[in-house]
Amino acid sequence: MPPLPSRAYRTATRAAG
């Protein structure tokens, strides 16, 4: 589990957008 959902959030946002 990452320290913060920032990495996953950014990855998802980039892939979606």
CA–CA separation, 17 and 6 (whole Å): 16
For position 9, what pLDDT does the model report? Answer: 79
Q: What is the pLDDT along the chain (17 residues), one digit of tens a residue?
A: 556 677 777 887 776 66
Q: At a CB cut-off of 8 Å and minimum separation 6, what does 8 contact?
A: 2
pTM of the entire predicted model: 0.10
At 3, give phi and psi (nearest 5°). Answer: -60, -35
Max CA separation in the chain (angstroms): 24
Q: How long, in residues, is the chain? A: 17
